[in-house]
Structure 1
């Protein structure tokens, strides 16, 4: 009871500190409620970790915890948004490479669309090496599907390692290390356009290799 009362009594103090930090914000995408959420977490931590035997006022201790919680939370959110932004840019870049098949007149429309769909599927498999399931949501079908997907990913990783040298570097650099085509181009001393061509060729080789494999249940 005393803990809850202390938290409630210092919530206005936490709100004041959150408001000061919010007023100094640079990133306009964040709402005050997010600042207040981090401030509240900092206040709770302060209440739980405060040592009354030390000669320090609770407000001083709490202020340090609250500010730290807000700043750490904002930094984590910033990193997460940056990762999302980077992945979005990488997807857009590879999508342009994949969609380039639409400009090839010698390939019929159905085959073009099939190649694009298959390339997107490979992108998902390569970029998402692990699938998580909530323990309460696991059913017999989801367990089987998860095992099948795991086997497929292991097979694709094996096939990636058997790609020609440049194609292998491009796939690993782009999907596993999240490097854009221009960075890979600098590393291999090739043009960005050539990297896009090799990327498309690598996906085609993976599709052919997987299609000829008899050890994998999944079929594209």
Structure 2
């Protein structure tokens, strides 16, 4: 009876070569899991570079791990490239896409998103090298862009995060941000019409104005108006129709 043994890889590089050569099956799945476990510290190290930028650490670690898995699945050891040199840009690219696609409260152009990240990284680097907060001119020179580009990026960064309408704005918490926002005043839509209505009413005959006033301001019925001014209800109806037609024509012309 022939006994077969499974060779255990001795190094990370050897593990990746075995993974690339292994056919689909349980052994390949086991090698893949082992490669992920072995290189996971690299993903965590890269994720920690982006801590303190408004994203939960768990989300960053998850994103970096996804980038690592993509790198492992795409890596081709026959090209003669070290895995670390291939994995680092892959993981960093995944993290940057996370910031670009999922952390903006308002969608802005991709160029603006990338500029915001570049400005943030430049600001951190210049703070360390200059020993002070960098100016717009410092950042522009560091990134080889214009000061207008930097200002545009800083302005666009305001879309990165938003405040909840439930955020308290008073010390006792009795008033929230939403309470301070104005509401649509539907009466404003009628303001212009009311201003124009006065002169338009003056174009009517006195009896027409009286009938409209009794109908729409006094809330009298046509029968009550007819009894009040001494005409028939049918005549009141015709006068109201005629007066309203005049008002529409006058308001449309105005």
TM-score in terms of structure 2 length? 0.32
Name the structure, 1 or 2, with higher relative contact order (CA <8 Å, separation 6+). 1
The TM-score, its normalising length taken from structure 1, stands at: 0.37
